[in-house]
Chains A and B, each alone.
Chain A
């Protein structure tokens, strides 16, 4: 039994690594797009889970960091001609520092005030970016296309996202099982008692927030290159943040595999809806409906509920 715990994830990883080989035989760009889209969201949900799941600070504004990362990479690519792939680390760092500063302010409050402050963060950034002529204002930045043949053009993004997703999942696992994560979960239960127990409450919270901002920012760099076009109203909308929150809640917040399961199921669900109903406003309705139903009937999410009933498959049980 212990073998299957490692076997299934390793097999899945192997398959995902080898999958682009099908491009030799036929062009499966759409499936590649879906997979990298899933990786992209796994990065965001896993990083969100660090502060939202373990820390208990629900943020409906995490796409602010995605925006910062994307703009750092996009601006450098256009102004200085540096490929965004070299800037993944830098974008992450800038987003992380930004997250650190924002966290110092907003993590002073918790509960509803924090959620509201996270919404206000996107609103402020939207106004600032819309007026910031240096980065193109409301019309945004157009990035250069990469020169690869169409068959291979998505692969750099595919592998970058895969790598970043693995990093995010590992970080999630690390936070779950490290002393840092223990302190973070203690803080989420009771800040006063944690402080009495010798935990530096403020630093723990802000570090966790900056960490999740860092990962999302790095994903932003790759995402900017993938879209080749960045604009404030693509990033700074509440719907992206709502999707992140929904995916984590659906999978099970505060678990390592929850964000992954939630992301995969939600993206499949979305694809099915798109196939049958097309892209309409009904999508917003269904997203909301799914969120409400999950919260009312399975507040622990899929992984959490299965775990409570002790029927969680071994390969999903990473804490």
Chain B
């Protein structure tokens, strides 16, 4: 019993990190109807920023979060201006936008691979190998810290969306763009801002990921599918849904990884995607997407 509890707690910590990775994605989709396949590569950019800051200046990855967020936010702003500004104008999903994000992902992937090659990297701050013990349950410090930081960032995001004026504007725009414009919301600015916010969240997630998982440029293809399965399961555009899905699937994945084999654990995400498409295409909390 203790053993299963142990696995569930480990899955929970990872699930929170996955949740943070997915929130930016679902935020961008909610506001602009852009399925941002480039999101995982922004996470990787954040991870590289944290990695190099740690290697060159010994900066702790958790403290590097703001820097990674700023770098990814600026990168996101550039990408948005160059690539998406035209299409973000119509709040209508189009295949072309998905392919555009895919092309962007490939450009960034190629750039990262060119500079950093396909070497597996992981940031190793002093606490990366530590663990807490509570009775018989052990908690790896890295997982615990990353889980807690993710949780607080998600809560901060939720509070921001709930109570700040800009947050209300973002929620209004994702409900209905036309009506948002009618009540005087600057929709163009809201779009730009939420894209940058989404990318900055990816950067935050990246610096946490840098000491939880090992990473290399081509890794983002795997993450695309994992994150998408979370977003689809939760219902596209629903942040609460994405977080719930992330925790649920991550716990399930760590159970599968323990009782079957570690390499089968990601299968949970992909199979969940197929099952959810089969029985409830709109996801747990989502509206049907046409």
Q: Contact residues of A with B, CB < 8 Å?
A: 56, 58, 60, 105-106, 108-113, 115-117, 119-120, 123-124, 127, 130-131, 237-238, 242, 245, 249, 280-292, 295-296, 299
Contacts and interface: CB of A to CB of B under 8 A. Distances in A.
A292 B289 CA distance: 25
B274 A242 contact: no
Interface string B86-106: 100000010110111011111
A123 B270 CA distance: 7
Interface of B: 29, 35, 83, 86, 93, 95-96, 98-100, 102-111, 113-114, 117, 217, 221-222, 224-225, 228-229, 232, 236, 261, 263-264, 266-267, 269-271, 273-274, 277-278, 281, 289-290
B264 A120 contact: no
B172 to A, nearest CB: 22
A127 B263 contact: yes
8 contacts: A58-B95, A108-B281, A117-B277, A120-B225, A120-B273, A131-B264, A281-B114, A283-B110
Contacts of B114: 280-282, 285
Contacts of B108: 288
Given A116-B35, A116-B225, A123-B225, A287 B106 contact: yes
B24 to A, nearest CB: 16
Contacts of A249: 99
A130 B266 CA distance: 13
B267 A127 contact: yes
A115 B264 CA distance: 23
A111 B93 contact: yes
B103 A289 contact: yes
A124 B274 contact: yes
A130 B263 contact: yes
Interface of B is mostly: helix
A1 B102 CA distance: 41
Contact of A113 (B102, B104, B117, B281): B281
A288 B105 contact: yes
B274 A131 contact: no
Contacts of B290: 110-111
A113 B103 contact: no
B229 A285 contact: no
A30 to B, nearest CB: 26
A125 to B, nearest CB: 9
Contact of B273 (A111, A117, A280, A287): A117
Chain A CB within 10 Å — which of B107, B117, B266 has the most? B107
Contacts of A116: 35, 225, 228-229, 232, 273
A299 B96 contact: yes
Given A249-B99, A281-B113, A281-B114, A117 B106 contact: no
Contacts of A115: 35, 95, 98
Given A115-B95, A116-B228, A281-B110, A124 B270 contact: yes
Nearest to B105: A288
Chain A CB within 10 Å — which of B86, B264, B270, B290 has the most? B270
Contacts of B289: 109, 111-113
B245 to A, nearest CB: 13
Given A115-B35, A119-B225, A281-B114, A242 B232 contact: no
B106 A284 contact: yes
Nearest to A289: B107
Nearest to B84: A296
Nearest to B265: A127
Contacts of A105: 274, 277-278
Please list the 8 inter-chain residue pairs (A to B) with the smallest Cβ-Cβ separation, ordered nearest first: A285-B110, A288-B106, A281-B113, A291-B103, A284-B110, A288-B107, A292-B103, A112-B35
Contacts of A60: 102
A120 B113 contact: no
Contacts of A127: 263-264, 266-267, 270
Given A105-B277, A113-B277, A285-B114, A120 B229 contact: yes
Nearest to B229: A120
Chain B CB within 10 Å — which of A238, A245, A287, A291 has the most? A238
A249 B102 CA distance: 13
A110 to B, nearest CB: 8
A69 to B, nearest CB: 21
Contacts of A130: 263
A148 to B, nearest CB: 37
B98 A292 contact: no
Contacts of B264: 127, 131
Contacts of B96: 295, 299
Contacts of B270: 120, 123-124, 127
Contacts of A238: 221
A106 B103 CA distance: 23
Contacts of B221: 119, 237-238
Nearest to A283: B110
B259 to A, nearest CB: 15
B267 A286 contact: no
A227 B273 CA distance: 33
A281 B117 CA distance: 8
A280 B118 CA distance: 12
Contacts of A109: 277, 281, 289
B92 to A, nearest CB: 10
Nearest to A237: B221
Contacts of A111: 93, 95, 289-290
Nearest to B112: A281
A115 B114 CA distance: 27
A245 B99 contact: yes
